[in-house]
Structure 1
Amino acid sequence: MGRGGSMMQVFDTRVCRLGEGVFWHPQRERLFWFDILGKQMQSQTPDGPQDWDFDEMVSAGAWIDRDTLLLASETALSSFNLTTCACETLVLLEADNPVTRSNDGRADPMGGFWIGTMGKAAEVGAGAIYRFYKGELRLLFPDLTIPNAICFAPDGRTAYFTDTATQILNRVSLDAQGWPDAAPTPFMDFRAKGLNPDGAVTDARGNLWIALWGAGQIAVYDPQGKPRHAITLAAPHVTCPAFAGSTLFATTATQGMTAAALADYPDAGKVFTLADAGEGRPEPQVIL
């Protein structure tokens, strides 16, 4: 896969230790993202940057209505009112397990929300992927180490995910309600190239846009898994992509970088953007 001619530019200058979970709220026309290790949600408004501090790590979210977000934290899925900052628990998420926290998550086209958990020190097999749909939280895939790349085909009948530690992206077919109706199967193998798939999103044509941790890239594949092109960032640890129309955004991280690496990549940890990158589609509304 060639590196292509596209280079993402800095969108927000704040440095996240572990930027993640970026998504565009179509009704508010606002971008939201998280600094997991900083226990913070961030946004950018016409009046400047905005952030919200939490008592525990937050990692992913989606929109419920114009004023309300679904947020995934260490111990729960919660509703968060952007106007009042009221945060109400919807369902507990491994709240009795102090080893784990939430990680990658995304709303599915049927109105559900998939969320991964992982060990805070990436303990082997400590994590899992769940789906929250119409008030029910159901365990889908246990014994994962670093669940990532949760995204969905535009018709909602295929889900993708990875355990980054395996370097393999899986796909699984879904029924009309968005629940898996078969076992996951390996779809793309990144081991030969030594690449680490992180967050991912699909576009309107079903192409997969996959952040590559450690490689400073978002790699684009067609729905059959064939490589198309790659987009570069001036940050090695790319964590999660998102679309707002045709504009691409991506979070990055400084976690694990040495002082020398941070000097080489002064924009590491920032949020990046690229106009006219592709044909995105709106993030689905979560149905409670």
Structure 2
Amino acid sequence: MTEVTETVHKNGPYYFDSKIRLSEGISYAAESKALFWIDIYNAYIHRVTDIDDISTHTVWHASVDNYEGLYPFTTDLPERIGAIFPIDRADGVEEVYFGAKYGIARMNYTTLRWQYLVHYSDSGLQKDWTGLRSNDGNVSPDGEIFIGIMNDFHCTVDSEDPKGALLKVNLRENICELVIDKLMIPNAINWSQDGTTVYFTDSLNFSIYKYPYQDKNLIVEDKALFIDIKKFNSQFDSPEPDGSFIDPDTHNIITAVWSTSTVQRYDTKGDLIHKWTFPETNRISACTLAQGHMFVTTANEIIEDNASPEGLGGSIFKVENVSTYMGSSKRNPITAEH
């Protein structure tokens, strides 16, 4: 096994704002040629409509003030955004669906208002939903949203009694179902190109697992370890695999690894073959392809308190010519309207 390390620092960040806390969930919509990412902590959706022109950047904030109708939950806790699912069209993205604090919501770019469509409590799970929030998610080959939920920032992850879960949401029928319960930090989920295998990241177990995918479901009992991240990152105390994608050119998994300053490429056997290192920050949170380039999100060293953020954590970085793939990073979810 030959491993290559590449340091990324030539031109500084692609985008930086000192107020950013936890950039994540970066996604490219190829028809509209728009790049999206989120700030989980601040409940921001960022959009760039021309990736070669950062002046096309705008940001939107999910709050009680721009909610459509009566906000259905307590206003004592802030909103969060854990994942984003744009409805990609050649004439532009008018609507995005996103994993909010309590469920899946929809935002309209014309009105800039938003509304919950499905509540995670609809799953029938008995959980304290005020203590949870959305994390990463993706759209299955069947057009359904698979999304993780985990402890919100004011709650501590309990390894003895984990509260997180992986859920499946059908937006055509507004149904929410449990896939896997009792997870600490459920993270990236990706499908093989033929749609028969799911690769699912369990961050605090430092692992990416694979499952057969049949009849719109993970075959949970056939879980197998695919990548042991700690095996390849033994020099770090907590090398947590975070957001990732599968490169359609090579079928390799490319994953951000939190607390290591790196994005890492693993081959189809699960071996580490390449590292991109970002010296400006150790909290690398997610990555995606856009027009063949890789865009990488990061988090600030200060997320949860009221102190001022510091350093370049929270920045977006661009790595040129990683792949020849020019398509979208996610499918459109199938909804009643689309």
Same topology, TM > 0.5:
yes
**1:203 aligns to 2:230 (yes or no):** no
**Per-residue deviation, 1:89:** 2.1
Alpha carbons of structure 1 residues 142 and 182: separation in structure 2 relative to 1, 3 Å: closer
2:294 paired residue among 239, 248, 266: 248
Task: Answer yes or no: is 1:70 the counterpart of 2:116.
Answer: no
Cα offset for 1:4? 2.3
Question: What residue is the counterpart of 1:11 in the other structure?
Answer: 14
2:273 to 216, 228, 248: 228
Are residues 1:83 and 2:120 paired?
Answer: no
Map of 1:126 onto structure 2: 163
How far 1:256 sits from its partner (Å)? 4.6
CA distance in 1 between counterparts of 2:156 and 2:267 reads 30
Distance in 2 separating the partners of 1:152 and 1:84: 33
Q: Which has the larger radius of gyration?
A: 2
Q: Verify the 8 A CA contact 1:77 1:92 in the aligned structure 2.
A: yes
CA–CA distance in structure 2, aligned partners of residues 250 and 242 of structure 1: 7
Residue 248 of structure 1 and its aligned partner are, at CA, apart by: 0.6
Match of 1:51 among 59, 62, 65: 59
Q: Does 1:181 align with 2:189?
A: no
Do the aligned residues in 2 keep the contact of 1:74 with 1:101 (CA within 8 Å)? yes
Q: Is the 8 A contact 2:28 2:36 kept in 1?
A: yes
- The answer on whether the counterparts of 1:118 and 1:146 sit within 8 Å (CA) in structure 2 is yes
Cα contact 1:59–1:73 (8 A) shared by 2: yes
* 2:168–2:176 Cα contact (<8 Å) kept: yes
1:286 aligns with 2:333: yes
Question: Which residue is 1:217 aligned to?
Answer: 262
Q: CA deviation at 1:156?
A: 1.9
Distance (Å, rounded) in 1 between the aligned partners of 2:115 and 2:163: 26
* TM-score, normalised with respect to structure 2: 0.77
Contact 2:301–2:313, Cα closer than 8 Å, also in 1: no
User: Take 1:226 and 1:152, find their aligned partners in 2: how far apart are those partners?
Assistant: 18
| Cross-structure match for 1:163 | 202
Is the contact made by 2:4 and 2:273 (CA closer than 8 Å) also made in structure 1? no
In structure 2, the residue matched to 1:100 is 132
Identity %: 24
Q: Distance in 1 between matches of 2:46 and 2:156?
A: 24
- Residue 138 (structure 1) aligned with residue 177 (structure 2): yes
Q: Give the Cα separation in 2 of the matches to 1:122 and 1:163.
A: 17
Distance in 1 between residues matched to 2:110 and 2:32, nearest whole Å: 12
Task: Map Cα deviations across residues 140-184 of structure 1 (whole Å, 9 max, x no partner).
Answer: 111001111222212222111222111121111101x43113422
